Amino acid sequence: MRMMLTRKMKLPAAKQYVADKLGITMEQMHDSTFMLEYRRDNGLGVIMPYADDIYGMEAKCRIAKKLDIKINSVDRFKANAQI
């Protein structure tokens, strides 16, 4: 959704952009089991994290960096934390 709004992309183009940035295929991106492991392995956060999984703001920061997108809450967090 973020790619559709910020970069004015249609849904298929937005999905392809994300898949390309992550270095995976569209089939892999639609596979929930693959994506769970991919997100966990790359520190992008998961819906139901275990005790040692990355979640919250740390996951958002990594997603913003990996996809090269601007996320307002990440920018505000970095400004307030003086990072």
Distance CA 53, CA 16 (A): 27
Residue 47's pLDDT is 80
Residue 3's pLDDT is 77
- Decide if 67 contacts 21 (C-beta within 8 A): yes
Distance CA 23, CA 40 (A): 15
- Decide if 15 contacts 26 (C-beta within 8 A): yes
Q: At what angle do helices 57-67 and 11-22 cross, to 10 degrees?
A: 100
pTM strictly above 0.95? no
